[in-house]
Protein backbone atom coordinates (compact mmCIF):
# COMPACT_ATOMS: atom_id res chain seq x y z
CA UNK A 1 0.00 0.00 0.00
CA UNK A 2 2.93 2.32 0.66
CA UNK A 3 4.05 2.10 -2.98
CA UNK A 4 0.52 2.81 -4.21
CA UNK A 5 0.29 5.91 -2.02
CA UNK A 6 3.70 7.05 -3.22
CA UNK A 7 2.71 6.75 -6.89
CA UNK A 8 -0.52 8.65 -6.13
CA UNK A 9 1.50 11.43 -4.50
CA UNK A 10 3.87 11.54 -7.45
CA UNK A 11 0.91 11.87 -9.83
CA UNK A 12 -0.62 14.60 -7.67
CA UNK A 13 2.64 16.56 -7.73
CA UNK A 14 3.33 15.95 -11.41
CA UNK A 15 2.92 18.62 -14.06
CA UNK A 16 3.71 16.31 -16.97
CA UNK A 17 3.21 12.60 -16.37
CA UNK A 18 3.78 10.10 -19.18
CA UNK A 19 2.56 6.49 -19.03
CA UNK A 20 4.36 3.67 -20.82
CA UNK A 21 2.52 0.34 -21.17
CA UNK A 22 3.31 -3.19 -22.31
CA UNK A 23 1.35 -6.40 -22.73
CA UNK A 24 0.99 -6.85 -18.96
CA UNK A 25 -1.65 -4.12 -18.78
CA UNK A 26 -3.86 -5.98 -21.27
CA UNK A 27 -3.44 -9.42 -19.69
CA UNK A 28 -6.36 -8.68 -17.36
CA UNK A 29 -8.48 -7.97 -20.43
CA UNK A 30 -7.87 -11.52 -21.58
CA UNK A 31 -5.15 -10.80 -24.11
CA UNK A 32 -2.21 -13.20 -23.63
CA UNK A 33 1.22 -11.81 -22.89
CA UNK A 34 4.18 -12.70 -25.08
CA UNK A 35 7.00 -13.40 -22.65
CA UNK A 36 5.20 -14.39 -19.44
CA UNK A 37 4.95 -17.85 -17.93
CA UNK A 38 2.13 -18.75 -20.31
CA UNK A 39 3.20 -16.26 -22.98
CA UNK A 40 2.38 -16.68 -26.64
CA UNK A 41 6.03 -17.21 -27.57
CA UNK A 42 5.88 -20.48 -25.65
CA UNK A 43 3.26 -21.65 -28.16
CA UNK A 44 4.20 -19.82 -31.36
CA UNK A 45 7.48 -19.21 -33.13
CA UNK A 46 7.71 -15.42 -33.50
CA UNK A 47 9.80 -15.78 -36.65
CA UNK A 48 6.93 -17.65 -38.30
CA UNK A 49 3.93 -15.65 -37.08
CA UNK A 50 5.23 -12.16 -36.27
CA UNK A 51 8.13 -11.40 -38.62
CA UNK A 52 7.78 -9.69 -41.98
CA UNK A 53 9.69 -12.58 -43.56
CA UNK A 54 7.35 -15.17 -42.07
CA UNK A 55 4.32 -13.14 -43.12
CA UNK A 56 5.47 -12.97 -46.74
CA UNK A 57 6.09 -16.72 -46.74
CA UNK A 58 2.84 -17.70 -45.07
CA UNK A 59 0.33 -14.96 -44.17
CA UNK A 60 -2.17 -17.55 -42.89
CA UNK A 61 0.17 -18.33 -39.98
CA UNK A 62 -0.07 -14.71 -38.83
CA UNK A 63 -3.86 -14.66 -39.09
CA UNK A 64 -4.18 -17.83 -37.00
CA UNK A 65 -1.99 -16.14 -34.41
CA UNK A 66 -4.06 -12.93 -34.66
CA UNK A 67 -7.24 -14.85 -33.91
CA UNK A 68 -5.81 -16.02 -30.59
CA UNK A 69 -4.27 -12.67 -29.79
CA UNK A 70 -7.31 -10.50 -30.49
CA UNK A 71 -10.49 -12.38 -31.37
CA UNK A 72 -10.53 -15.20 -28.83
CA UNK A 73 -10.02 -12.83 -25.94
CA UNK A 74 -13.08 -10.65 -26.69
CA UNK A 75 -10.97 -8.02 -25.00
CA UNK A 76 -12.41 -4.96 -23.30
CA UNK A 77 -10.51 -2.22 -21.46
CA UNK A 78 -9.87 -2.99 -17.80
CA UNK A 79 -9.61 -0.68 -14.75
CA UNK A 80 -5.98 0.16 -15.56
CA UNK A 81 -6.89 1.49 -19.01
CA UNK A 82 -9.80 3.47 -17.55
CA UNK A 83 -7.67 4.87 -14.72
CA UNK A 84 -5.06 6.15 -17.16
CA UNK A 85 -7.75 7.77 -19.31
CA UNK A 86 -9.24 9.48 -16.25
CA UNK A 87 -5.83 10.78 -15.21
CA UNK A 88 -5.51 12.23 -18.70
CA UNK A 89 -8.87 13.97 -18.33
CA UNK A 90 -7.63 15.34 -15.00
CA UNK A 91 -4.77 16.94 -16.91
CA UNK A 92 -2.06 14.90 -15.18
CA UNK A 93 -1.18 12.32 -17.85
CA UNK A 94 -0.09 14.10 -21.00
CA UNK A 95 0.65 11.07 -23.17
CA UNK A 96 0.41 7.29 -23.26
CA UNK A 97 3.19 5.37 -25.00
CA UNK A 98 2.29 1.77 -25.63
CA UNK A 99 3.89 -1.35 -27.06
CA UNK A 100 0.42 -2.86 -27.49
CA UNK A 101 -1.52 -3.16 -30.73
CA UNK A 102 -4.93 -3.84 -29.16
CA UNK A 103 -6.34 -0.27 -29.20
CA UNK A 104 -7.68 -0.68 -25.65
CA UNK A 105 -6.29 2.66 -24.47
CA UNK A 106 -8.31 4.52 -27.08
CA UNK A 107 -11.43 2.52 -26.30
CA UNK A 108 -11.03 3.44 -22.63
CA UNK A 109 -10.93 7.11 -23.54
CA UNK A 110 -7.24 8.00 -23.83
CA UNK A 111 -6.72 10.55 -26.58
CA UNK A 112 -2.96 11.06 -26.78
CA UNK A 113 -1.68 7.54 -27.53
CA UNK A 114 1.63 6.78 -29.25
CA UNK A 115 1.56 3.22 -30.58
CA UNK A 116 5.20 2.15 -30.93
CA UNK A 117 4.32 -1.12 -32.64
CA UNK A 118 1.34 0.18 -34.58
CA UNK A 119 -2.15 -1.27 -34.23
CA UNK A 120 -4.72 -3.51 -35.87
CA UNK A 121 -6.98 -0.55 -36.63
CA UNK A 122 -6.33 -0.64 -40.38
CA UNK A 123 -5.29 -3.44 -42.71
CA UNK A 124 -3.55 -2.80 -46.05
CA UNK A 125 -3.37 -4.98 -49.15
CA UNK A 126 0.30 -5.15 -50.09
CA UNK A 127 -0.64 -5.95 -53.69
CA UNK A 128 -3.14 -3.24 -54.65
CA UNK A 129 -2.95 -0.89 -51.62
CA UNK A 130 -6.62 -1.29 -50.72
CA UNK A 131 -7.36 -0.34 -47.10
CA UNK A 132 -9.77 -2.11 -44.75
CA UNK A 133 -10.91 -1.29 -41.22
CA UNK A 134 -10.23 -3.87 -38.54
CA UNK A 135 -13.89 -4.42 -37.68
CA UNK A 136 -14.54 -5.60 -41.24
CA UNK A 137 -11.51 -7.91 -41.28
CA UNK A 138 -12.40 -9.31 -37.85
CA UNK A 139 -15.80 -10.46 -39.09
CA UNK A 140 -14.20 -12.33 -42.00
CA UNK A 141 -11.47 -13.77 -39.79
CA UNK A 142 -14.02 -15.58 -37.66
CA UNK A 143 -14.76 -17.79 -40.65
CA UNK A 144 -11.67 -17.79 -42.86
CA UNK A 145 -8.38 -16.10 -43.68
CA UNK A 146 -9.09 -12.65 -45.14
CA UNK A 147 -8.15 -11.90 -48.75
CA UNK A 148 -8.40 -8.64 -50.65
CA UNK A 149 -11.84 -8.21 -52.17
CA UNK A 150 -10.46 -5.88 -54.84
CA UNK A 151 -7.57 -7.92 -56.23
CA UNK A 152 -7.89 -11.31 -54.54
CA UNK A 153 -4.46 -10.96 -52.94
CA UNK A 154 -3.74 -12.82 -49.70
CA UNK A 155 -1.16 -10.37 -48.39
CA UNK A 156 -3.39 -8.27 -46.16
CA UNK A 157 -1.14 -6.74 -43.52
CA UNK A 158 -2.32 -4.83 -40.45
CA UNK A 159 -0.47 -1.65 -39.63
CA UNK A 160 1.62 -3.30 -36.94
CA UNK A 161 5.39 -3.44 -36.77
CA UNK A 162 6.56 -6.99 -37.45
CA UNK A 163 9.96 -8.32 -36.43
CA UNK A 164 12.35 -7.28 -39.19
CA UNK A 165 10.59 -3.93 -39.69
CA UNK A 166 11.68 -0.60 -38.23
CA UNK A 167 9.51 1.33 -35.82
CA UNK A 168 7.82 4.39 -37.24
CA UNK A 169 10.41 7.17 -37.08
CA UNK A 170 7.77 9.79 -36.31
CA UNK A 171 6.16 7.76 -33.52
CA UNK A 172 9.48 6.82 -31.92
CA UNK A 173 10.73 10.41 -32.12
CA UNK A 174 7.53 11.65 -30.49
CA UNK A 175 7.81 9.01 -27.75
CA UNK A 176 11.39 10.01 -27.00
CA UNK A 177 10.37 13.65 -26.85
CA UNK A 178 7.55 12.83 -24.41
CA UNK A 179 10.02 10.90 -22.25
CA UNK A 180 12.31 13.94 -22.15
CA UNK A 181 9.45 16.27 -21.20
CA UNK A 182 8.07 14.02 -18.45
CA UNK A 183 8.56 14.85 -14.79
CA UNK A 184 7.00 11.46 -13.96
CA UNK A 185 7.38 8.39 -16.17
CA UNK A 186 5.07 5.56 -15.11
CA UNK A 187 5.71 2.11 -16.60
CA UNK A 188 2.84 -0.40 -16.41
CA UNK A 189 3.02 -4.04 -17.48
CA UNK A 190 6.24 -4.09 -19.47
CA UNK A 191 9.22 -6.42 -19.12
CA UNK A 192 11.43 -3.69 -20.63
CA UNK A 193 13.45 -6.06 -22.79
CA UNK A 194 12.45 -4.91 -26.29
CA UNK A 195 14.53 -2.04 -27.65
CA UNK A 196 14.42 0.78 -28.51
CA UNK A 197 11.20 1.02 -26.46
CA UNK A 198 12.94 -0.22 -23.31
CA UNK A 199 15.29 2.77 -23.41
CA UNK A 200 12.49 5.27 -22.81
CA UNK A 201 12.55 5.09 -18.97
CA UNK A 202 16.30 5.74 -19.07
CA UNK A 203 15.78 8.74 -21.35
CA UNK A 204 13.17 10.10 -18.93
CA UNK A 205 15.43 9.54 -15.93
CA UNK A 206 18.38 11.31 -17.59
CA UNK A 207 16.07 14.25 -18.26
CA UNK A 208 15.18 14.49 -14.56
CA UNK A 209 11.93 12.53 -14.35
CA UNK A 210 10.90 10.38 -11.42
CA UNK A 211 10.28 6.76 -12.42
CA UNK A 212 7.57 4.40 -11.17
CA UNK A 213 6.92 0.79 -12.15
CA UNK A 214 3.80 -1.36 -11.82
CA UNK A 215 4.34 -4.92 -12.98
CA UNK A 216 3.23 -8.42 -12.07
CA UNK A 217 6.79 -9.66 -11.64
CA UNK A 218 10.30 -8.19 -11.25
CA UNK A 219 12.15 -6.86 -14.29
CA UNK A 220 15.88 -6.50 -14.82
CA UNK A 221 15.69 -2.71 -14.62
CA UNK A 222 13.89 -2.50 -11.27
CA UNK A 223 16.85 -0.68 -9.76
CA UNK A 224 16.42 2.46 -11.88
CA UNK A 225 12.90 3.14 -10.55
CA UNK A 226 12.07 5.36 -7.59
CA UNK A 227 8.98 3.30 -6.74
CA UNK A 228 8.15 -0.30 -7.70
CA UNK A 229 4.79 -1.99 -7.06
CA UNK A 230 4.28 -5.65 -7.94
CA UNK A 231 0.73 -6.66 -8.76
CA UNK A 232 -1.95 -6.78 -11.42
CA UNK A 233 -2.16 -3.55 -13.35
CA UNK A 234 -5.93 -3.18 -13.03
CA UNK A 235 -6.01 -3.78 -9.30
CA UNK A 236 -3.06 -1.50 -8.58
CA UNK A 237 -4.17 1.36 -10.84
CA UNK A 238 -7.68 1.29 -9.41
CA UNK A 239 -6.19 1.85 -5.95
CA UNK A 240 -3.76 4.46 -7.26
CA UNK A 241 -6.66 6.42 -8.75
CA UNK A 242 -8.64 6.19 -5.50
CA UNK A 243 -5.70 7.55 -3.50
CA UNK A 244 -5.10 10.25 -6.12
CA UNK A 245 -8.73 11.42 -5.80
CA UNK A 246 -8.37 11.62 -2.03
CA UNK A 247 -5.36 13.87 -2.46
CA UNK A 248 -7.26 16.05 -4.89
CA UNK A 249 -10.17 16.26 -2.48
Distance CA 161, CA 194 (A): 13
**Same domain flag for 95 and 193:** yes
Continuous H helices in 111-157: 134-141
Q: 148 among the known binding-site residues?
A: yes
Q: 151 among the known binding-site residues?
A: yes
Distance CA 57, CA 70 (A): 22
Residues with catalytic roles: 117
- Which CATH number goes with the domain that contains 133? 3.30.1600.10
**Same domain flag for 135 and 86:** no
**Same domain flag for 156 and 215:** no
Q: 243 among the known binding-site residues?
A: no
Tell me: the pLDDT tens digits for 119-173?
Answer: 888 999 999 999 999 889 988 988 888 999 999 999 999 999 999 999 999 999 9
Residue 228, φ and ψ in degrees, nearest 5: -130, 130
pTM of the model: 0.91
**Same domain flag for 244 and 147:** no
Distance CA 247, CA 249 (A): 5
- 181 exposure class (CB count in 10 Å sphere: 0-12, 13-18, 19+): middle
Last residue of a domain, one of 160, 188, 217: 160
Tell me: the pLDDT tens digits for 44-83?
Answer: 888 888 899 999 999 999 988 888 776 655 689 999 999 9
**Same domain flag for 4 and 59:** no
**Same domain flag for 107 and 179:** yes
Domains: count for the chain: 2
What range does the domain containing 26 cover? 1-30+77-117+167-248
Amino acid sequence: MEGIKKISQMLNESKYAVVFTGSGISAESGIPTFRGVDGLWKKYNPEEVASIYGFKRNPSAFWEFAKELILKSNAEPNPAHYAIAELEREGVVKAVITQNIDMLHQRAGSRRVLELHGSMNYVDCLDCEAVYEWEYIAKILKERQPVCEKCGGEFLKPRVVFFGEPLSYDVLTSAMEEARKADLFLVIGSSLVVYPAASLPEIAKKSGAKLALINLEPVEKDFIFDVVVYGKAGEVMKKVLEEFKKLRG
